[in-house]
Amino acid sequence: MTTPPTNADNGKTSGTILKERGSNTPIPAAELLRADAGDVEARTITMDRSGAERVTAERVVMSKSGAKTIEARSARLDDSGAMTVRAEQAVLQSSSALAIMAAEARIVTSKVGLVSAGTATFEPGSKVLVFAGTADGDVRPAVNTIGAAAFGAALGFVLLVIGRVVRRGAR
């Protein structure tokens, strides 16, 4: 469904193609302004006060927007959020993400659950739960990779013991 939404700020029509309701087919889009979309795929995607399920592009720029999954060569999030970001270069400014997997990441006053990066730069005010990679700047993850592995092993052991106790009680 081609929908030419008007830009309330200047009355201009943007050349946006949105997902038709009830369809999960990726569609090309250049710009989303105050819109919700399902899967969006294009060379460059700019989102402003918008939301999307899956965003796939060479370059993604988001402002006050959200996405479930972002896959890009370059991703920049300003006052935005994402569940998963996979990119060669990822920059988060006052944003949040559950997981970032990138060759290079820059986190500025943002909150991230997991950062896995070849090189990561953390500015003051950034919060990271788990970090794996090489860091520049002051990063104090709540759990590092060794701590995460130890926690996983301990949790696995506890679940194994509980499972055996439950099975014995069922006999």
pLDDT in tens, 8-34: 444 333 445 544 455 566 555 567 777
Residue ranges per domain, the chain? 1-140, 144-171
Residue 84: Cβ-neighbour burial (10 angstroms; 0-12, 13-18, 19+): middle
Q: Is the pTM of this model over 0.75?
A: no
pLDDT in tens, 64-113: 999 999 999 999 999 999 999 999 999 999 999 999 999 999 999 999 99
pLDDT in tens, 36-60: 888 888 899 999 999 999 999 999 9
Please name the helix (run of DSSP H) or strand (run of DSSP E) that holds residue 7, with its range, or none: none
Amino acid letter at 26?
P
Interacting residues of 54 by C-beta distance below 8 A, sequence separation 6+: 26, 38, 39, 40, 67, 68, 69, 71
